[in-house]
Structure 1
Amino acid sequence: MQLHITGLSKTYPNGVQALDDVTLSIPRGMFGLLGPNGAGKSTLMRTLATLQDADSGSVQLTDVPGTINVLRDKDAVRRVLGYLPQDFGVYPKVSAEDMLDHLAQLKGLSSRGERKDVVERLLKQTNLHDVRKKALGGFSGGMRQRFGIAQALLGNPKLIIVDEPTAGLDPEERSRFHNLLVEIGEEVIVLLSTHIVSDVSDLCPHLAIMNKGRVLLSGTPQALVGLLKGRIWVTSVSRAEVDALKAQHTVISTRLYSGKTQINVIADGHPGPGFEPAEPTLEDAYFAAIGGHVGMKRSLVADGAFVDTSSVIV
């Protein structure tokens, strides 16, 4: 089972090009879509979820069984789709059990007995069974997100889309939500859209980095990190020294650490006094891609990624 996206483009009436020739092959399992706000992630999610149309391109969902043309056969897509949008609204006075039962009816589960079994199973799977009689308005943010996954799992979907699912969750709920996503992703395609790098590095064996509607990098975390092997250097300086270093070097990220500013730069050779080599991380690959310092050559495939070391730009 795979989701094949080819040449997908979308420009809004205000002139903003939200998707620019997006091409991806997404296998079964967890796939991370990583990018800053405004990268085009939500537009891609809504297009795949049949909530809006693309201007051009094609999307095929294969072996479900058969092949579904996602952009044309929207009813067929919806029968195999589970969707948790970034903003998930609920009826605050309705219990989790009753709401899930109602949504199951809308999903086509007409048998009351079958619905009861499905609802109970999903509430247990998402660790909400003990609060099934509680009104949704009294749920915490993490509980609401787990309920969102429960409704997305109705009908045994083959493609599950989750958009920024851990934003605002505390560490405990975030960990619980991660474990749930990994469990779900063993047998279906789970497309996880986020701007949180650690969510993708913890969960996803494959990912793509997007910005301004384009796919910048795509592949395994190991392949993307490998692009920067031997090219990341780090130093710690006072705040007053930061601007001068930015003028002299290609800085990809800065952060405060123990009262000083830690600066990561990308360079082919040693950038000078005070710098030490650092093992690259997925966060480095993300910031390097967003900053335009590493790119993708789609004609080359290495270690599961459409990338090549010669595509690194400094």
Structure 2
Amino acid sequence: MELRIQHLNKTYDNGVKALNDISLTIPAGMFGLLGPNGAGKSTLMRTLSTLQDADSGSATLDGINISENKDSVRRVLGYLPQDFGLYPKVSAYDLLDHFASLKGISQSKQRKEVVEALLHQTNLYNVKNKHVGGFSGGMRQRFGIAQALIGDPKLIIVDEPTAGLDPEERVRFHNLLSDIGNDKIVILSTHIVEDVADLCNHMAVIRQGQVVLQGQPLPLIEQIADQVWKRFIDKSELALYQQEFRVISSRLISGRTLIHVYAEDQPAEGFTPAHANLEDVYFAAMAGLLGTSAATTTASTANV
């Protein structure tokens, strides 16, 4: 199972170039597409899910051209968009049964088995008769995954699935995604670094419609392990440090400002080595300090 994306480009009528020569090879398993809002993630997800066409380039799923064989791809596709509408006065069971019917499961007995299994899998069986309009945000997202899993799809795309969830629901949703299985391609599109760190064995960072980094999280972290330094500073000093050093992140901790700086050697007295993590990789890539050329060996090894 493999999804191959080659030189995808998309420019909207307003002149925004949402995809700029995107190329990725995505194997089975969890794949994280990480980037800020407006980076082009949702455009790529809509293109892969057959909802819109790219201007040029191609995407193939196990050799099937997605834009030329949309019906074939939709039969093996599960999609949870960032924003999806539901009929608020319909119960979870009835709505999922309706989606299963639309997906081609025509026999009522088989459909009942599928719907009940999915409600159990997403921990919604006890509220199956509740109107989905009364669901919490986390319950809605779990219902979204349930409808995406109808028909045992080979390709599952989830776009910003944990945005707005409380910590408990986020953990529950992570557990649900991790149980989907390694025999499917699951693309997790998000701006939340922790989602990718917790779930994905392969990843890419996208910025302004371009892939700026790709590889496996752990090797990418190891790549910068001794090049991230930290120091507490006064908030008023931040601009000065940003001018003098390659500051990749700053945050307030107990009222104090902690900065992370990217440097091969200790940048100045007072800096100590930081325990690098995927967030440091992400911020370094977004700052242009890490790129696809630097990760070529890692990405090749990861088959990404």
Same fold? TM cut 0.5: yes
Q: 1:312: which partner in 2?
A: none
Partners of 2:88 and 2:303 in 1: how far apart? Answer: 45
Partners of 1:55 and 1:43 in 2: how far apart? Answer: 12
Partners of 1:298 and 1:78 in 2: how far apart? Answer: 36
Q: Report matched runs for 1:156-175 at 5 Å.
A: 156-175=152-171
Provide, for residues 11-44 of structure 1, a one-character-per-residue CA deviation record: whole Å limited to 9, x for no partner: 1111111001111111111000000001100000
Q: Report matched runs for 1:105-184 at 5 Å.
A: 105-184=101-180
Q: Report matched runs for 1:245-260 at 5 Å.
A: 245-260=241-256
Give % identity: 61
Provide, for residues 256-280 of structure 1, a one-character-per-residue CA deviation record: whole Å limited to 9, x for no partner: 0121100001112111111111121
Q: 1:272: which partner in 2?
A: 268
Q: 1:311: which partner in 2?
A: none
Q: Report matched runs for 1:1-314 at 5 Å.
A: 1-62=1-62, 67-297=63-293, 300-302=296-298, 304=301
User: Is the Cα–Cα contact under 8 Å of residues 224 and 305 in structure 1 kept in the other structure?
Assistant: no
User: Is the Cα–Cα contact under 8 Å of residues 296 and 306 in structure 1 kept in the other structure?
Assistant: no
Partners of 1:130 and 1:179 in 2: how far apart? Answer: 19
**Unaligned stretches of 5+ in structure 1?**
308-314
Partners of 2:267 and 2:295 in 1: how far apart? Answer: 32
RMSD across aligned positions (CA):
1.4
Partners of 2:64 and 2:218 in 1: how far apart? Answer: 31
Q: Give 1:187 deviation, angstroms.
A: 2.2
Provide, for residues 39-86 of structure 1, a one-character-per-residue CA deviation record: whole Å limited to 9, x for no partner: 100000000000000011111111xxxx31112100001000000000
User: Is the Cα–Cα contact under 8 Å of residues 213 and 285 in structure 2 kept in the other structure?
Assistant: yes
- SS of the residue aligned with 2:296? coil
Could you state the TM-score of these two structures normalised by the residue count of structure 2? Answer: 0.97
Whichever residue aligns with residue 2 of structure 1, its letter is E
Partners of 1:306 and 1:262 in 2: how far apart? Answer: 36
User: Is the Cα–Cα contact under 8 Å of residues 223 and 305 in structure 1 kept in the other structure?
Assistant: no
- SS of the residue aligned with 1:184? coil
- SS of the residue aligned with 1:294? coil
4+ residue runs over 4 A deviation: none
Whichever residue aligns with residue 290 of structure 1, its letter is M
- SS of the residue aligned with 2:120? helix
Whichever residue aligns with residue 226 of structure 1, its letter is E
Q: 1:310: which partner in 2?
A: none
User: Is the Cα–Cα contact under 8 Å of residues 300 and 306 in structure 1 kept in the other structure?
Assistant: no
Could you state the TM-score of these two structures normalised by the residue count of structure 1? Answer: 0.94
User: Is the Cα–Cα contact under 8 Å of residues 217 and 224 in structure 1 kept in the other structure?
Assistant: no
Whichever residue aligns with residue 293 of structure 1, its letter is L
Partners of 2:303 and 2:69 in 1: how far apart? Answer: 29
Whichever residue aligns with residue 251 of structure 2, its letter is R
Provide, for residues 198-220 of structure 1, a one-character-per-residue CA deviation record: whole Å limited to 9, x for no partner: 00000000000000000011110
Partners of 1:302 and 1:155 in 2: how far apart? Answer: 35
Q: Give 1:306 deviation, angstroms.
A: 8.3
Provide, for residues 223-248 of structure 1, a one-character-per-residue CA deviation record: whole Å limited to 9, x for no partner: 22122121111000111111111111
